[in-house]
Every structure is written in C-alpha cells, then in structure tokens.
Structure 1
Amino acid sequence: MNKPLLKLSLIESNEERKAYRSLLLLADDWAEAVDQYMYEGELYIAQDQQDQVLGVCLMHALSPEEAEIKNLAVRPEFRGQGVGKAIIEELCSRFASKGFSRIIVGTANSSIDNLAFYQKAGFRMTEIRKDFFCSYPEPVIENGIRAWDMVMFERPLSASC
C-alpha cells in the first residue's frame, strides 16, 4: 500500500483545538481526561490534499529528549489505509529535527489493534504501568478484555527516522 498523501498542520489556539475534541475522544473514552490534556502540548491535524481532516495527534514534550504521543486518532472511515503510520512518520521526522531522541506512547492492555499498530510503526514495549485504568470512572472493556494496565512503547529517533 502506498503512503497516503497528507499534510500535518499545527493547531495553535485553544478555540481551534475545541473543534477537534470529538476526534480526540475516538482514542480516549474518558472525556474529563481529554478536556484536561487537549490544551497541552502540540495538536496536529492530518488532512488529505482536499483539506479533509483524516485524524489528529497530540504531542507532549516530556523533556528536551523525549516526546509523548498523548493521543492519536484517525477517523474510522480512514483507518487501515496507512494514515496513522503516515502521521507517526511525519512527526518522527519533525521531532528528530527538533533534537528529540525518542517518542513514547502508551495504550491499554486491552487495545489489541493498538498494540499491533505501534509495533508495526517501529515502537518497542518498555514497561507496563499496572492499574493505570483503575482511576477511570467506568471500566473500559475492549475486545472482551478489561483495561487495567497501560503498556508503554518507545521509538528511538534519528535524523532519518
């Protein structure tokens, strides 16, 4: 499959960010958490050549060397077409050029598709944050599995990413 042609645009204002809340909620069911972190870090929108929004990604710098994918969501009708991988590749390139040496991301133990996706995108498992989802107000169930733990991944960056 060919890499989809997309452009990433940085959303600067909080007012503009509000317009993408529903997309962020595709990747995180806990609205209160999304409402807290959606104004932190850098929010990027991915668009096709006709300016149709395909997805969003919220990046957060944890240190001068490490950035975190806080939220990555692709609209359902564009999933499985390489959009998510293209977003990651573009952001890896951008963050490598800014001097970052690694990107981390976490996903639930129950998110089977995400676990596979991040590994296919060059990430490796680094740790498990036990009981991470116990603080959620309602249990999260995916694929018939309760989300208890956050599985953390890391991808080293280089100039060529």
Structure 2
Amino acid sequence: MTLKIQKVTTNVTPAHFELLLEADPSKELLDRYLQEGVLFEAVIEKIPVGVLLLTKTEEPNEIEIKNIAVSDQHQHQGIGSDLLQFAKDYATEQGFSKLKVCTGSTSIGQLYFYQKFGFRMSHIEPDFFVVNYDEPIYENGIHLKDLVHLNLTLTSKK
C-alpha cells in the first residue's frame, strides 16, 4: 500500500468533494476555496483517500490550509500527518514563512493534532460558524460557534 500525494490537475471529482465535505460542510465555501486555492490528493492504488486544499492569505508570506481530510477507513494510519508534512514542505518550497490552519473550537482531536505538529494558537474568531453556516454544527456534543486560528512558522531549507 503506497501513498502518493499529488496535485489535482483535473476537475474535482465526487470522491474529492466527499472528502472535502468531511472537513467543511459548506458547499458554497468549498466552491470559493477551490477557485482560490490548489488542491492535492492523497492516493492509494489510484483511489483518493485524503485531500489537502491550500490558499494564499492576505498576508504576503502566509499560506493557509483551508481543508485537510482523510477518509474514515484510512484514518489513524499517518495519512493526515503525511498531508500536513506535505503542506509544510510545499509552503516552504514556495517561499512562505508561515502556514496557517483554522478549526472549530470544539474540534478537540484536530486541535490536538495541529498543536502536536507544532502549530500555535494565535486567536479565536467568535461566532464564525453561527454567522457563516446556515445550519448549526454540533461536534463532540457541543454547539460549534467559534473558529480557532493556528500558525506554524516555517524555516527555509536553504
């Protein structure tokens, strides 16, 4: 079982979109992010098992992970870590000095995952999910309201 991470150069497939929706239930926001960013897929035997969507931010030296997801049956196998390392390497190679990711304040597993990888919380955006999503989102039995911003400072490979 060999994992390959590659840029998606064709149209986004239903399999990609299903993975993207795992991490963000807003089709409208995903459509916007896909127009603005670059999508990568983690593939095993030609089947996408994970996705990574990166977009530039308004900050000149910053790139953001807008979406990262791994299929349920492939979780806890290191694929998420591989995608995160790929994002870090890609951002560094493209000359960015900061990698950003945002997640819900109730996303306990994701907050642990990003911090374990070296991300640091920078700030919280209150009521982001209340304002930007039509339906309430519940995660870990808690009504998701706030967005947590995390940053990772990148060091050049030069």
**Is contact 1:21-1:38 (8 Å) kept?**
no
TM-score when scaled to structure 2? 0.90
Write the distance in 1 (CA, Å) between the matches of 2:115 and 2:152: 9
Write the distance in 1 (CA, Å) between the matches of 2:8 and 2:12: 6
Write the distance in 2 (CA, Å) between the matches of 1:64 and 1:54: 31
Aligned length: 154
RMSD: 1.6
Write the distance in 1 (CA, Å) between the matches of 2:143 and 2:83: 28
Q: Where in structure 2 are there 5+ consecutive unaligned residues?
A: none
Partner-residue secondary structure (3-state), 2:36: coil
**Out of 98, 101, 116, which is 1:102 matched to?**
98
**Out of 134, 141, 144, which is 2:141 matched to?**
144
Establish whether residue 25 from structure 1 lines up as the match of residue 30 from structure 2. Answer: no
Q: Quick one: which amino acid aligns to residue 148 of structure 2?
A: V
Q: Percent identity?
A: 38
**Out of 36, 57, 69, which is 2:32 matched to?**
36
Task: Report how far residue 112 of structure 1 moved.
Answer: 1.0
Tell me the equivalent position of 1:51: 46
Write the distance in 2 (CA, Å) between the matches of 1:38 and 1:24: 10
Establish whether residue 87 from structure 1 lines up as the match of residue 83 from structure 2. Answer: yes
Tell me the equivalent position of 2:71: 75
Q: Quick one: which amino acid aligns to residue 116 of structure 1?
A: Y
* 1:55-102 Cα shifts (integer Å, max 9, x gaps): 001000114410000010100111111111111111211210111001
**Is contact 2:49-2:74 (8 Å) kept?**
yes
Write the distance in 2 (CA, Å) between the matches of 1:28 and 1:150: 12
Write the distance in 2 (CA, Å) between the matches of 1:120 and 1:52: 28
Runs of 4+ aligned residues of structure 1 deviating over 4 Å after TM superposition are none
Task: Report how far residue 37 of structure 1 moved.
Answer: 2.0
**Is contact 1:64-1:99 (8 Å) kept?**
no
Q: Where in structure 1 are there 5+ consecutive unaligned residues?
A: none
Tell me the equivalent position of 1:130: 126
TM-score when scaled to structure 1? 0.88
Tell me the equivalent position of 1:61: 56
